[in-house]
């Protein structure tokens, strides 16, 4: 992996410990920590009931949505759901793999980074069947911009350049807003406020996970990964429901419940 790519992914590890130099979604981070603590408090209890309440977006609505729309092809909805689940779960799994590897300077760090980069491309590709090539590429570009701006923020913080750090942070949040705007404009079922909330929660939990790993707080590290897993699944469910609602004609079933020819 080339030097620039390595720099891009190092930010995921180091930015977590530089919060004293710049504020990153302080309110969202506090909320995430509280929810992780709630998750830890329920260890040993029924995961299917108690721990699902530890964040706003954990509960899956796809099964009930599909069941209440029996006119739609259930197999096709399930295929979409599984595909999006795989992508978002892979995203948090490979993010964690990179954090763990980079924290210990392990030789698999660059391989984890390359796999995570491929996942960014795959997420953009996943929307192309519904929104087209240009939209898929635009989403990928927005996700890459998010990482590149984070690199600028990190470098400014390390240099002690407060003005540059603040400028980069402003650009970082503008980029996050652009992603939420893109999604909400692409699909009216994905409101801007909901997209901002889900993205901020994902970022805050990821930061909590990285800080816990670096500081040796392994209980919080593991609990936060559980939270990230549930959150990623829930996000993919929301995307599934939004796509099916917007493109319902593509999911219509014949009277035998099969996909029309």
Rounded alpha-carbon distances, angstroms, from residue 187 to 81, 122, 183: 17, 19, 6
Q: Give me the helices (H) in the chain, please.
A: 3-14, 26-41, 62-67, 74-103, 109-126, 128-131, 133-159, 162-186, 192-214, 218-246
| 92 is a domain residue | yes
CA–CA gap between residue 16 and residue 9 (Å, rounded):
12
Domain hosting 91: range is 61-249
| 258 is a domain residue | no
**φ and ψ of 117, to 5 deg:** -65, -40
CA–CA gap between residue 118 and residue 100 (Å, rounded):
19
On the question of pLDDT at 10 being above 60, the answer is no
- The pLDDT value recorded for residue 119 is 87
Residue 70 tokens, joined? 């029996």
CA–CA gap between residue 192 and residue 182 (Å, rounded):
9
At 147, the pLDDT band (50, 70, 90 cuts) reads: low
- The pLDDT value recorded for residue 151 is 44
On the question of pLDDT at 242 being above 90, the answer is yes
Query: Which of the listed ranges 96-110, 196-210, 232-246 does the model predict with the highest average pLDDT?
Result: 232-246
Number of domains in the chain: 1
| 87 is a domain residue | yes
| 254 is a domain residue | no
pLDDT in tens, 15-72: 433 343 333 334 344 455 555 655 455 433 333 333 333 344 445 566 666 666 777 8
Q: What is the mean pLDDT of the chain?
A: 73
| 10 is a domain residue | no
- The pLDDT value recorded for residue 182 is 96
| 193 is a domain residue | yes
How many other C-beta atoms are found inside a 10 Å radius of the C-beta of residue 132?
Answer: 12
């Amino acid at each position: 992996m080339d030097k620039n790519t390595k720099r891009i992914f190092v930010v995921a590890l180091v930015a977590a410990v530089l919060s004293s130099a710049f504020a990153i979604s302080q309110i969202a981070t506090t909320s995430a920590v509280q929810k992780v603590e709630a998750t830890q408090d329920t260890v040993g209890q029924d995961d299917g009931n108690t721990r699902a309440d530890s964040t706003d977006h954990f509960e899956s609505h796809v099964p009930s949505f599909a069941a209440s729309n029996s006119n739609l092809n259930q197999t096709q909805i399930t295929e979409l759901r599984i595909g999006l689940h795989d992508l978002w779960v892979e995203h948090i799994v490979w993010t964690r793999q990179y954090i763990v590897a980079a924290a210990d300077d392990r030789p698999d760090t660059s391989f984890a980074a390359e796999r995570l980069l491929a996942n960014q491309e795959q997420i953009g590709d996943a929307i192309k069947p519904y929104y087209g090539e240009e939209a898929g590429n635009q989403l990928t570009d927005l996700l890459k911009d998010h990482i590149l701006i984070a690199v600028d923020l990190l470098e400014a913080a390390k240099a002690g350049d407060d003005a540059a750090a603040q400028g980069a942070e402003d650009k970082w949040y503008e980029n996050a807003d652009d992603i939420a705007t893109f999604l909400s404009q692409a699909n009216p079922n994905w409101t801007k406020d909901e997209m901002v909330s889900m993205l901020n929660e994902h970022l805050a939990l990821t930061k909590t996970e990285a800080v816990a790993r670096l500081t040796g707080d392994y209980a919080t590290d593991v609990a936060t990964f559980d939270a990230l897993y549930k959150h990623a699944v829930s996000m993919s469910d929301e995307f599934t429901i939004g796509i099916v609602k917007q493109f319902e004609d593509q999911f219509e079933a014949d009277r035998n419940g099969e996909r029309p020819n």
